[in-house]
Amino acid sequence: MGGPVRWFIHNPIAANLLMLFLLVGGVLGVPALEKQFFPTFELNRVSIALTYPGAGPGEVEEQICVRIEEAIHDLSGIKEIRSTAREGIGTVVVEAEAGYDMQRLTAEIKTRVDAINTFPVEAERPIVTELAFRHYMAAVSLAGDLGERDLKRLGEQLRDDLAAQPNVSVVELESPRPYEVSVEVSEYTLRRYGLT
C-alpha cells in the first residue's frame, strides 16, 4: 500500500479535514443545484395524421404516408421521419433537430402537406399537430349500474368540474364512444315503399 492512502493513514487529521471540506462544500452547493419536481421535457415532434376510411395498411402506406414523406423530406430542421400505416389511418411523426424552432417547422410541414393534391378523394383532411409533453397526474375510471350514455354524461360532468379547478390545465375523456343515432323502420313501411 503506498501513495495517498498511506499518507492519509499516517495523517488522520488531514483525512478528517478533507472529509469536513467535502461535506461543507456539498451542503453549500445544494442550493445552487437546479431542482424541479417535474423536469422539463421537450418532445420536438410534429404529427401528421390522415384518415382514409376503408383502406388497408398497404394502401394507406402508398396513398398517404409515402406522399407525405416525399413532400416534407427536404425541409431543414428534420432529424427523423417515422410513418405508421394502419387500417384506415396513416400517421407520420417528424422529429426535429435539437434547438430548432418548432412553430416554424410545424408551419412549414402544414404548408407542404396542405399543398398535396394527390390524396385519394375518400381521404379526410390531414391534421398537423405539434406534440407537446403533458405531466400525467391522475386517471379516474367510472363504472356502475348506469347505461353507457349516463356514464358518458357523468364523465363529461366530472371532466368539466375538474377542468374548472385553478391548478388543473387539461382534462380529457380517454375512451368514450361517440353518440350514435339508430333509425329503425318497420318491415311493413319498407314494403309499402317498395324497399328491401
Average predicted confidence (pLDDT) for the chain:
87
When pLDDT is averaged across residues 5-12 and rounded to a whole number, the result is 84
**Using one digit for the tens of pLDDT, what is the confidence trace for 102-130?**
889 999 999 999 999 989 888 899 999 98
Confidence check: pLDDT of 15 > 90: no
Any idea what the Cα angle at residue 120 is, between residues 117 and 122, rounded to 5°?
Answer: 125
- Pairing state between β 45-51 and 127-131: antiparallel
Residue for cell digits 488531514? 14
Q: pTM for the complete prediction? A: 0.56
* Residues of the chain above pLDDT 70, percent: 97
Confidence check: pLDDT of 176 > 80: no
* Residues of the chain above pLDDT 90, percent: 32
Query: How far, in Å, CA of 23 to CA of 43, rounded?
Result: 38
Q: Read off the pLDDT band of 5 (50, 70, 90).
A: confident
* CB burial readout 126-155, b (16+ within 10 A) else e: bebebeeeeeeeeeeeeeeeeeeeeebeeb
Query: How far, in Å, CA of 143 to CA of 131, rounded?
Result: 31
**Using one digit for the tens of pLDDT, what is the confidence trace for 39-77?**
666 778 999 999 998 888 999 999 999 999 999 999 888
Query: How far, in Å, CA of 128 to CA of 92, rounded?
Result: 9
Q: Where are the alpha helices (DSSP H) in 30-133?
A: 57-60, 66-72, 102-114
